[in-house]
Amino acid sequence: MKTQVTIAFALLVGLCFAANLSAGQLQNGVDMGKQPAAPAVNVCYVSDSASGGAVVNVPESTPVTENLFWLNHESDGSFTTTVKFVVKFNANSPLVKQVQIFNNGGSIETPFGVPYWGGNPIHGPATLKVKTDTQKCTYLFNVTP
C-alpha cells in the first residue's frame, strides 16, 4: 500500500511540475528551458509579375497570347553557388520539364511560361522545385487552358 501511495504522489507532483512549464519546455521529461529556434525561411512560388504574389493557376500560351509568369525563390540569406529551378508538368504532357540554373544566386525572379503545343495541350498539375547548395523548396500549381 505504501508503494502505491508513493507512486501516486510522485505522479501528482510530476503532473503539477509539467503543468507549470510553458509549451516546449518539457521534452521527454526534461525541462529544456527555452523554445527551439525557428527554421530558416525558404520560399519558392510562381507569380504573374516579378516579385508579385503567388498564383496557383498558370494559363498555357496560345498562338495569339504569350502568357508570361515568374519563378521566384527567396533565399534565407545564406551564400549559394547555384540555384536550380525545375518545373515538372503533368505526366501525360508532351513537355516533361523546364530547367533554369543560375550561378552565384540568392533571391531570384526569372521569367517563365508554358508554351503552346498545338493539339496536345500542357494542362494539369505542375510542380516547381528549387534547389540550392543548402536549401530545397517545392510549390504546386496548375496549368490551365
pLDDT at 42: 57
Same domain, 107 and 135: yes
Assess if residue 79 is contained within a domain.
Answer: yes
Same domain, 76 and 128: yes
pLDDT at 106: 82
pLDDT at 69: 98
- Residues of the chain under the 70 pLDDT cut: 1-42
Same domain, 63 and 133: yes
Same domain, 27 and 85: no
Q: Where are the alpha helices (DSSP H) in the chain?
A: 2-19
Same domain, 49 and 24: no
Distances (CA, A) of 93 to 28, 96, 130: 49, 6, 21
Instruction: Give pLDDT tens digits for 74-93.
Output: 988 888 899 999 999 998 89
- Report the CATH number that the domain containing residue 132 is assigned in CATH: 2.60.40.1930
CA distance 67 to 48: 9
Name the residue type at position 52: G
pLDDT at 58: 97
Same domain, 27 and 47: no
pLDDT at 119: 80
Assess if residue 19 is contained within a domain.
Answer: yes
Assess if residue 38 is contained within a domain.
Answer: no
Contact 50, 70 (CB under 8 A): yes
Same domain, 49 and 88: yes
How many structural domains are present in the chain?
2
pLDDT at 76: 83
* Owning domain of residue 15: 2-31
